[in-house]
């Protein structure tokens, strides 16, 4: 434990180095959208990890957007616990009209804060985790268990860089997603987007509208846009039903919403609309799966359609999810349930208390991260990182240096102690 005390003290003594590392990461312009711009930043992280003893696996998820996974093999891998540290290198988009103090990618240090795009979400967390690794390496500490560091792309636009890591075979006994959590230990609900399409098998001139809506017209037809109004009513009915029948500890009632986000339809003012598409976003609880909620939505809307003469013969078509909001206009973020009695969770909570002197808050994130992909892959995981959601995506985004220092101390302690836990 003397080694651990030395490492924790090093975080204070070398705080300026860590601040410079955060500033370096922010200076790489990696907003998504537009994306396809992370190669240089990822090369920096790969080089950093390689210098500190990691083997590097780097591959393109999309051209210009590679994932980086560093592997540090433990001295007794088969006998001691393994750990994944995970974070995304992309940051929220920047609108030219936003009133930043200066260039969003030229960080400012002031009043115990680092200001710049990505400071809170989540280059502060990435830098703290990298600095923890640097301290362990420079102290010549050989970890018994395996340590993996994942710097992934695309989280801001639903591009599942983390899912690719899981599919590539990277697993561990525990994972920490160092995303924005205000140093709370968090799980999360999930999100899935979907498209509901109504389509006529005929097209009609708008002059025929009278024949399909007035007595004696004898034209059994409809506007797909107007029929979509019934679908939206049905979605709102299901949303209200969920609000009174479902709940989850730590989440406000009714947070499981169905948002009709975008509607597209019709082809020209001289046509009756023969097609209409509705893009919805569904939020669900940590104890639900995206497959489950998609099925519930489909079943309810199909029943709604059965009660309408035209929809009965032109049933709605459903398209769910997607691996990119940019490429496919769709995304999935699986939910993540945290077991508070998992040995890694209790160890992380103890490390937090030891460093901060306070009990850690354990709750549920009101947003989504890549953490759900670990739960989906059967890897126990938590979200735990510096920064808060008031700053994430904000103009003059910032992270507290004091919190960043605290986070890095906790992570150094946790990495060291978890790696010394026997399987």
Q: What is the mean pLDDT of each run of 10 residues along the chain (423 residues)?
A: 88 97 98 98 98 98 98 97 98 95 96 97 98 97 97 96 97 98 98 98 92 90 96 98 96 96 96 97 98 98 97 98 94 97 98 97 96 97 97 97 98 98 96
Check residue 59 and give its pLDDT. 98
Separation of alpha carbons 373 and 369, rounded Å: 9
Beta strands in 244-361, from DSSP E residues, in sequence order: 258-265, 271-272, 275-284, 317-320, 332-333
How far lies 20's CA from each of 17, 37, 397, in Å? 5, 22, 17
What pLDDT, on a 0 to 100 scale, did the predictor assign at position 129? 98
In angstroms, what CA-CA distances link 61 with 43, 103, 182, 198, 350?
A: 14, 28, 29, 33, 37
Confidence (pLDDT) at 2: 84
- Position 3 scores a pLDDT of 86
* Distance separating alpha carbons of residues 149 and 168, to the nearest angstrom: 14
Annotation marks residue 155 as catalytic? yes
* pLDDT value, residue 1: 61
Distance CA 351, CA 348 (A): 5
Residue 160: predicted pLDDT: 86
pLDDT on residue 391: 95
Q: Which two tokens stand for residue 39?
A: 């190669």
Q: Which of 65, 90, 146, 179 is catalytic?
A: 90
Name the active-site residue from 65, 121, 146, 155.
155
Report all structural domains of the chain as residue ranges with CATH numbers, in order of start: 2-189+336-419 (3.40.630.10), 190-320 (3.30.70.360)
Pairwise CA distance, residues 118 & 125, whole Å: 10
Strand, helix or coil at 89? Answer: coil
Q: What backbone phi and psi angles, to 5 degrees, belong to 236? A: -65, -35
173 is a catalytic site residue:
no
Q: Is the dihedral of CA 290, 161, 137, 54 positive or negative?
A: positive
φ/ψ of 320, rounded to 5, equals -110, 145
Contacts of 350 (CB under 8 A, 6+ apart): none
């Amino acid at each position: 434990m003397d080694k651990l005390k030395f490492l924790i003290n090093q975080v204070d003594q070398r705080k300026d180095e860590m601040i410079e590392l955060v500033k370096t990461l922010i200076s790489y312009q990696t907003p998504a959208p537009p994306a396809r711009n992370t190669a240089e930043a990822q090369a920096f992280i790969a080089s950093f990890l390689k210098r500190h003893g990691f083997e590097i696996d780097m591959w393109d998820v999309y051209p210009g957007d590679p994932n980086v996974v560093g592997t540090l093999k433990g001295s007794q891998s088969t006998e001691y616990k393994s750990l994944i540290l995970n974070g995304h290198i992309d940051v929220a988009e920047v609108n030219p009209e936003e009133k930043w103090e200066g260039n969003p990618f030229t960080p400012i240090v002031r009043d115990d804060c680092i200001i710049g795009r990505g400071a809170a979400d989540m280059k502060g967390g990435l830098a703290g985790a990298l600095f923890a690794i640097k301290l362990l390496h420079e102290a010549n500490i050989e970890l018994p268990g395996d340590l993996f560091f994942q710097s992934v792309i695309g989280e801001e636009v639903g591009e599942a860089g983390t899912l690719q890591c899981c599919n590539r075979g990277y697993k561990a006994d525990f994972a920490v997603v160092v995303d924005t959590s205000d140093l709370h230990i968090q799980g999360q609900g999930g999100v899935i987007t979907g498209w509901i399409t109504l389509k006529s098998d005929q097209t009609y001139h708008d002059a025929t509208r009278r024949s399909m809506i007035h007595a004696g017209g004898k034209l059994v037809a409809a506007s797909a846009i107007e029929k979509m109004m019934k679908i939206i009513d049905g979605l709102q009915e299901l949303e209200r039903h969920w609000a009174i029948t479902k709940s989850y500890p730590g989440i406000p009632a009714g947070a499981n919403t169905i948002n009709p986000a975008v509607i597209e339809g019709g082809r020209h003012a001289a046509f009756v609309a023969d097609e209409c598409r509705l893009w919805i976003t569904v939020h669900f609880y940590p104890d639900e799966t995206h497959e489950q909620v998609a099925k519930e939505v489909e079943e309810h809307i199909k029943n709604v359609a059965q009660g309408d003469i035209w929809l009965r013969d032109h049933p709605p078509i459903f398209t769910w999810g997607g691996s990119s909001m940019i490429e496919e206009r769709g995304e999935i973020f699986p939910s993540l349930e945290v077991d508070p009695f998992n040995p890694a969770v209790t160890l992380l909570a103890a490390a937090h208390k030891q460093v901060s002197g306070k009990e850690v808050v354990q709750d549920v994130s009101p947003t989504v991260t890549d953490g759900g992909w670990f739960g989906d892959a059967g890897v126990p995981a938590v979200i735990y990182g510096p920064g808060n959601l008031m700053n994430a995506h904000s103009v003059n985004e910032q992270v507290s240096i004091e919190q960043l220092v605290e986070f890095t101390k906790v992570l150094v302690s946790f990495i060291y102690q978890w790696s010394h836990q026997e399987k």
